[in-house]
Amino acid sequence: MTKGVTFKDNLGPVNISNENRVARSSILGKLVEIIATSNTESCNLNRDPAEIEIKINFNDLVTHRWLVDEYVDNSVLIDSSITQLNQLINNGSTKLKRQMKLFYRNALSDFGISSKPFDLNKLKAQSDNIVEKVMSLSSEFVKASSDLQVGYYDEDISFGIALITSYSIIECIVLENPNDHN
């Protein structure tokens, strides 16, 4: 008799990991911590959503359109959290954007979307799935971070990830900038 696991009629990759992980700090974890401890009562809406609408329509984002609404509703919180992140971590927002770009490129790869040349039609067909994958990768990353060991709730993580993802969409880190595809 052999030992192991058999997956009958498996159509996709199976990843099983039982390695011992060492919890490490992360920029995403720190930003979730900042967002979780910030005052969300006084959010001022002083953004013009016209450019945002062009981006959302260009990328055909539908089911995750609510993320843009979260950004608009919490823009002051996001901006002040990014400012605080940059005060705590040298080039924190740049490091954050770099990591989110990696998550985005990973998601593009998972859905077989070529970036050279860029397959815009395939991106548009999968834009909501790509955003969902970026959120999933971000959430896994934060939950493995040593920054959030005690005192933060799953709700804090979910809210923080939604805001970080919405920020990344607006900053053209996640999804495509219409100006780059003229």
| Residue 152 reports pLDDT greater than 70 | yes
Q: Is the pLDDT of residue 46 over 50?
A: no
- For residues 60 and 180, the answer to whether their CB atoms sit within 8 Å is no
Note the pLDDT of residue 51: 81
Residues 6+ apart with CB under 8 A from 176: 58, 59, 118, 120, 123
Mean pLDDT of the chain: 84
- Using 50, 70 and 90 to split pLDDT, how confident is the model at 154? confident
User: Is 42's pLDDT higher than 70?
Assistant: no
Q: Mean pLDDT throughout 157-172?
A: 93
Q: What's the pLDDT band for 35 if we cut at 50, 70, 90?
A: confident
What is the CB-side half-sphere exposure of residue 11 using CA atoms within 13 A? Answer: 0
Q: Would you say residue 106 has pLDDT above 50?
A: yes
pLDDT of residue 43: 47
Q: In this predicted structure, what is the pLDDT of residue 39?
A: 65
Dist. CA 83–CA 96, nearest whole Å: 12
Of residues 42 and 141, the one with the higher pLDDT is: 141
pLDDT of residue 47: 42
Phi/psi zone of residue 17: left (φ > 0), alpha (ψ -120 to 50 degrees), beta? beta
Averaged pLDDT, 59-67: 94
Residue with tokens 């009958």: 8
Q: Are 99 and 28 in contact (CB under 8 A)?
A: yes
pLDDT of residue 115: 82
